[in-house]
Amino acid sequence: MIKVTTLLAAGIAVAAGAANAADSITVVSWGGAYTKSQVEAYHKPWMAATGNTVVSEDYNGGLAEVKAQVEAGNVKWDLVDVELSDAVRGCDEGLLETISIEDFPAGADGTAAKDDFLPGTFHECAVANIVWSTIYAYDSTKVTGGTPSTIADFFDTAKYPGKRGLRKNPKANLEMALMADGVAADEVYEVLETEEGIERALAKLDSIKADVVWWEAGAQPPQLLADGEVVMTTAYNGRIFNAVASEDKPFEIVWDGQIWDLDLWVMPKGAPNKEAAMDFMKYSTGTEALAAQASWISYGPARKSSGSLVGSFHNKPELKMASHMPTAPANLTNALQNNFEFWADNQDQLNEQFNAWLAK
């Protein structure tokens, strides 16, 4: 009986403590080093400036939770960091609040917001914060057979033996497979529009399928490399950069065949703390906040005015960030921008076909 009483007491104490604080917004992002960079560059300064608090939550992308919350009429998330295709789709489905570029502050150099944001980074329901990229990386201490340098090398398990890590999703994999198969970057989506193109991409993936370890969360690929589960893996460039910069991992990024994309803030329709969240959205896409984030992770800021402020890694003054950005000219020689419209159109069908291919 004593146990029960203590339990009861504990239960009541917990109930009393479960009340939540006022002026608190829930911001959802991709976790790991990326969320860490946002916490340092956005959350902390904003909390200090306004006295509000930010509750940070991780997810693995997609609109599922947003849709579930909006349809349940009980929205818990105030801001979500999404990919472009999801931002567009969510907007079309009426799941997101609309925003206006007129409300956003001018850049630090005085440029109006609509001229300061890079082309294509502002949408009806979404504003981009960073440019990121899917690249592939390898562990230089474990890879044998030479130094991989092209996207085709990733698919060459004869020359570079060992396991490969790939995201369990057709997105980026199909494009990379085609580029490795000799399709020029600007023709990739044209080829993918056809049945033969998809077959061709899957056939290329087939050539390494037996060696693939599939990952789902952005934090996994550096872990897979570090644990020796794979010798090469596709990954988000910032995650690999951070493993190198802060943990001295012997990883190398191959920029050939990179696929770059945007991450954008969206606000689910009916967000509980709309005003504070809007304030956070404006603050975090300001010139300084974006430049500050670039000192924590190698993702390019979406504002032109932030570019000149990008310096070096936060605790390594000798490590200049500019050359590690997806948008650095040297990294763009053979690069592809993710085509959100293609994916919005074909996502369902390709997921289905990709899953069937996986299960084969």
Partner 1 sequence: MTAIANNSAAAPLTIDGVIIDDAELKKRLDKAMFRSRFRAFLLVLPLLLFIVFSFILPIAYFLMQGIYDSSFSSKMPEVTKSLKDWDAVSEPTEEMYAALAADLRVVSANKTIGRVATRVNREFPGSRSLFTSTGRSISKLEAPYKESLVKKKKKWADIRVWQGMKTASRTWTPGYYAAAVDLKLNADGSIDQQVEKRRIHIKLFLRTLKISFLVTLFCVVLGYPIAFLLATLPVRTSNLLLILVLLPFWTSILVRTTAWIAMLQSQGVVNDLLVYFGVTDDGSRYSLIYNQLGTLIAMTHILLPFMVLPLYSVMKGIPPSYMRAAKSLGATNWTAFWRVYAPQTIPGIGAGGILVFIVAIGYYITPALVGGQEGSMISNFIDSHMRQTLNWNLAAALGGVLLFVVLIFYWLYDRIVGIDNMKLG
Partner 2 sequence: MAIPAYAGWGERLWYYTFRFLCGLIFLFLISPILIVLPLSFNAENYFSFTPGMLGLDPDAFSLRHYKDILTNGMANPERLTGWWSDAWNNAQWIRSMRNSFFIGFFATIIATVLGTLAAVGLSRSEMPFKKKIMALLISPMIVPLVITGAGIFRGFSDGARLINSFGAWLADFGGPLTWIGNWLNEFELVYTHLGVILSHAVLGTPFVIITVTATLVGFDQSLVRAAYGMGATPLRTFFKVQMPLILPGVISGALFAFVTSFDEVVVVIAMASVEQRTIPRQMFSGIREQISPTILAVATILVVLSIALLATLELIRRRGERLRGVTPA
Query: What residues line the site for partner 2 (CB under 8 A)?
Result: 3, 7-8, 10-11, 14-15, 17-18, 20, 26, 31-32, 55, 57-58, 60, 68-69, 71-74, 76-77, 216-220, 223, 227
Please enumerate in sequence order all residues whose Cβ is within 8 A of that of 258, keeping only pairs 6 or more positions apart, or say none.
133, 134, 135, 237, 326, 331, 332, 334, 335, 336
State the angle between helix axes of 84-92 and 340-359 in degrees (0 to 180), rounded to the nearest 10: 110
Q: Which residues of 206-220 are buried (b: 16+ CB within 10 A; e: fewer)?
A: eebeebbeebebbbb
**104 versus 241: smaller Cβ distance to partner 2:** 241
**93 versus 275: smaller Cβ distance to partner 1:** 93
CB 270 within 8 A of CB 202: no
**102 versus 348: smaller Cβ distance to partner 1:** 348
Residue 259 gets the label, from left (phi > 0), alpha (psi -120 to 50) or beta, of beta
Closest-CA residue to 288 (of 28, 82, 49): 49
**27 versus 91: smaller Cβ distance to partner 1:** 91
Name the minimum Å distance from CB 29 to partner 1: 17
Name the minimum Å distance from CB 7 to partner 2: 6
Name the minimum Å distance from CB 62 to partner 1: 5
**24 versus 353: smaller Cβ distance to partner 2:** 24
Question: Which of partner 2, partner 1, none is residue 291 near (CB under 5 to 8 Å by kind)?
Answer: none
Question: Which of partner 1, partner 2, none is residue 32 near (CB under 5 to 8 Å by kind)?
Answer: partner 2
Question: Which of partner 2, partner 1, none is residue 355 near (CB under 5 to 8 Å by kind)?
Answer: partner 1
**273 versus 287: smaller Cβ distance to partner 2:** 273
251's enclosing H/E stretch is strand 251-266
Using CB under 8 A, list all residues that contact partner 1: 62-65, 67-68, 89-94, 163, 168, 212-214, 227-229, 341, 344-349, 351-353, 355-359
Q: Output the six-digit token pair for 66.
A: 């947003």
Name the minimum Å distance from CB 68 to partner 2: 7
CB 125 within 8 A of CB 266: yes
CB 153 within 8 A of CB 334: no
Question: Which of partner 1, partner 2, none is residue 121 near (CB under 5 to 8 Å by kind)?
Answer: none
Name the minimum Å distance from CB 113 to partner 1: 23
Q: Distances in Å between the alpha carbon of 56 and those of 25, 31, 36, 219? A: 8, 9, 10, 16
The four Cα atoms 161, 167, 171, 177 give a dihedral, to 10 degrees, of 0
Question: Which of partner 2, partner 1, none is residue 219 near (CB under 5 to 8 Å by kind)?
Answer: partner 2
Name the minimum Å distance from CB 218 to partner 2: 8
Question: Which of partner 2, partner 1, none is residue 94 near (CB under 5 to 8 Å by kind)?
Answer: partner 1
Spatial distance between the Cα atoms of 90 and 72, rounded to a whole number of angstroms: 16
**76 versus 163: smaller Cβ distance to partner 2:** 76
15's enclosing H/E stretch is helix 2-17
Q: Output the six-digit token pair for 286.
A: 């300001």
